[in-house]
């Protein structure tokens, strides 16, 4: 299950059973960085990303790498257990239809500025201040691609709701700004080869410190964003179904950096498409719009820096998926799950993702599956 490679004397531990060439190259690039701590960990859903593979976990000493957090800072999920056990097709359709009317998708945002407590005391950082006005229209919008709201049936009998979204354009602007700053500084200092696309910032530098603060604000913003989307989605859900109470609610980020202690040392852990699962901590591992997802409980494995996969992971790029898949295949894979028409985009069809059952099995030493969720209806971004 767990494979161990060495590159440059740095161990690369992988929970994935097959790693595409591009992702492996990116992993060995990480292993060559001079400020790596202990080893590189690749989760079971690892695939190629920009600079760092998605599903990668990397700890560093005194350094933060904006591109190892990614452009959607704080992307993550809410999974909430409702108090109802039954829901019918008509209700599902109505919830999805009405949700598309109140939750903006794609590049769309709210017409009126939205309220969020974090808008009252933003950090004194230029890029944040500049983007704040438009961020007020972004909070509570889903975004595009694989961001989604869904209704799922848990194998313990209850209906669950999920929301997947991140820090919208605010996070993108922050990530882009500091990645360029890091490139500029790195070009002078030459810590990391340019083609790695992994320019670092010293945490003790002004820019490094500023990035970390801006990133943390984006984490709060993404949580506020998911919360707002959830409120809108759940209010329609409860109006249609009569649900009154939430029995459980989990909210997690899967793109972020944080200061944590591992193997007895304070380090910066970068999770780019990975979920933190300390011992007993709950995580959410989504499959796809047509396959199951899992609520999992962490076993706190030190070798994964107490992390697990952030999903099933793609097996095929968006472009290739659109070339290879047909609407007929995609519809077949969706069965009778309620969703809006594909339009011209098949890149999110269930076949674009790895087999979630295998991905879960490959990380049995990291997590215990608690609830298996089967999709009933999905609203995609
Ligand atoms: P990412 O954070 O990399 O954008 O996506 C996380 C994971 O979400 C993907 O690897 C995939 O397994 C899962 N996923 C993508 N779309 C959907 C969806 O519509 N529903 C569910 N349940 N999972 C999805
Ligand atoms: Mn995202
Ligand atoms: Mn995500």
The residues carrying an active-site annotation are 310
Percent above pLDDT 70 for the chain: 100
Ligand 1 within 6 A of 312 CB?
yes
Residue partners of 25: CB distance under 8 A and separation at least 6: none
Question: What ligand has the least distance to the C-alpha of 76?
Answer: 3
pLDDT on residue 162 = 98
Ligand 1 pocket residue status of 150, Cβ below 6 Å: yes
CB distance 55 to 16 below 8 Å? yes
pLDDT for residue 13:
98
**Stretch 258-272: mean pLDDT:** 98
Neighbours of 344 (CB within 10 A): 8
Q: Is the pLDDT reported for residue 1 higher than 80?
A: no
Q: Answer yes or no: CATH 3.40.1360.10 is held by domain 3-315+353-380.
A: no
From 286, 317, 373, the mutation candidate for ligand 1 (largest count of ligand atoms within 8 A of CB) is: 286
164 CA from centroid of ligand 3 (Å): 6
Among the atoms of ligand 1, which is closest to the Cα of residue 380? 19
How many angstroms does the Cα of residue 145 sit away from the middle of ligand 2? 8
- Whether the pLDDT of residue 149 is over 90: the answer is yes
Q: Residues annotated as binding site for GMP?
A: 254-255, 286-289, 293, 310-313, 380
pLDDT in tens, 49-105: 999 999 999 999 999 999 999 899 999 999 999 999 999 999 999 999 999 999 999
> 140, 188, 203, 149: which is closest to 168 by C-alpha?
140
Question: Over the stretch 300-321, which tens digit does the pLDDT of each residue have?
Answer: 999 999 999 999 999 999 999 9
For 195-204, what is the mean pLDDT? 96
pLDDT tier for residue 270 given thresholds of 50, 70 and 90: very high
Q: What is the tens place of the pLDDT at every residue in 329-374?
A: 999 999 999 999 999 999 999 999 999 999 999 999 999 999 999 9
**Per-position DSSP letters for 56-122, written without gaps between them:** EEEEESSEE-GGGT-SSTT-EEEEEEES-----HHHHHHHHHHHHHHS--TT---SSPPP-GGGSS-
72 Cα to the center of ligand 2, angstroms: 5
Average pLDDT over residues 132-159: 97
Q: Find out whether the beta carbon of 350 lies less than 6 Å from any atom of ligand 1.
A: no
250 Ramachandran zone, left/alpha/beta (phi>0; psi -120 to 50): beta
Q: Is 311 in the pocket of ligand 1 (CB under 6 A)?
A: yes
- Would you say the CB of residue 313 lies under 6 angstroms from ligand 1? yes
Give the domain ranges of the chain.
3-315+353-380
Q: What is the mean pLDDT of residues 270-295?
A: 98
Dump pLDDT digits (tens) for 161-186: 999 999 999 999 999 999 999 999 99
- Can you read off the two tokens belonging to residue 243? 């649900």
**Residue nearest ligand 1's atom 6 by CA:** 311
| DSSP run (H or E) holding 321 | helix 318-324
pLDDT exceeds 80 at position 191: yes
State the average pLDDT for the chain: 97
pTM: 0.97
208 Cβ inside 6 Å of ligand 1: no
Q: Give the residue, out of 272, 311, 321, with the most ligand 1 atoms within 8 A of its beta carbon, to mutate for a pocket test.
A: 311
Ligand 1 closest atom vs CA 152: 22
Residue ranges of the annotated binding site for Mn(2+) are 72, 147, 164, 254
Nearest ligand atom owner, CA of 225: 2
Ligand 1 centroid to Cα of residue 311, in Å, is 6
């Amino acid at each position: 299950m767990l494979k161990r490679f060495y590159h440059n004397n740095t161990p690369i531990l992988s929970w994935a059973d097959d790693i595409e060439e591009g992702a492996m190259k990116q992993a060995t690039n990480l292993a060559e960085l001079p400020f790596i701590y202990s080893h590189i960990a690749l989760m079971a859903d690892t695939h190629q990303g920009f600079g760092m593979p998605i599903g990668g976990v990397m700890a560093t000493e005194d350094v933060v790498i904006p591109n190892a957090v990614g452009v959607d800072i704080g992307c993550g999920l809410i999974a909430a257990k409702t108090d109802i056990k039954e829901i019918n097709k008509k209700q599902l359709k109505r919830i999805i239809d009405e949700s598309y009317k109140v939750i903006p998708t794609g590049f769309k945002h709210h017409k009126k500025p939205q309220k969020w407590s974090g808008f009252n005391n933003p950090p004194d950082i230029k890029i944040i201040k500049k983007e704040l006005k438009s961020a007020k229209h972004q909070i509570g919008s889903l975004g595009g691609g694989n961001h989604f709201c869904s209704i799922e049936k848990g194998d313990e009998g209850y209906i669950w709701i999920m929301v997947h979204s991140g820090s919208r354009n605010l996070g993108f602007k922050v990530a882009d700004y500091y990645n360029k700053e890091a490139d500029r500084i790195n070009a002078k200092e030459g810590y990391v080869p340019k083609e790695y696309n992994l320019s670092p910032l010293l945490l003790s530098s002004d820019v490094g410190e500023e990035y970390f603060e801006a990133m943390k604000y984006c984490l709060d913003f993404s949580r506020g964003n998911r919360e707002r989307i959830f409120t809108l989605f759940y209010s329609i859900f409860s109006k249609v179904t009569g649900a009154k109470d939430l029995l459980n609610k989990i909210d997690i980020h899967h793109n972020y950096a944080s200061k944590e202690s591992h193997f007895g040392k304070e380090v910066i852990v970068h999770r780019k498409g990975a979920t933190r699962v300390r011992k007993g901590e709950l995580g959410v591992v989504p499959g796809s719009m047509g396959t199951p997802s899992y609520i999992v409980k962490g076993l706190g494995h030190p070798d994964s820096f107490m992390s697990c996969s952030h999903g099933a992971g793609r097996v095929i790029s968006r472009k290739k998926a659109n070339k290879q898949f047909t609407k007929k295949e995609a519809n077949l894979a969706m069965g009778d799950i309620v969703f809006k028409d594909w339009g011209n985009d098949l890149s999110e069809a269930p076949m674009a993702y790895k087999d979630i059952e295998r991905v879960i099995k490959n990380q049995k030493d990291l997590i215990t599956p608690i609830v298996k969720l089967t999709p009933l209806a999905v609203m995609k971004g």
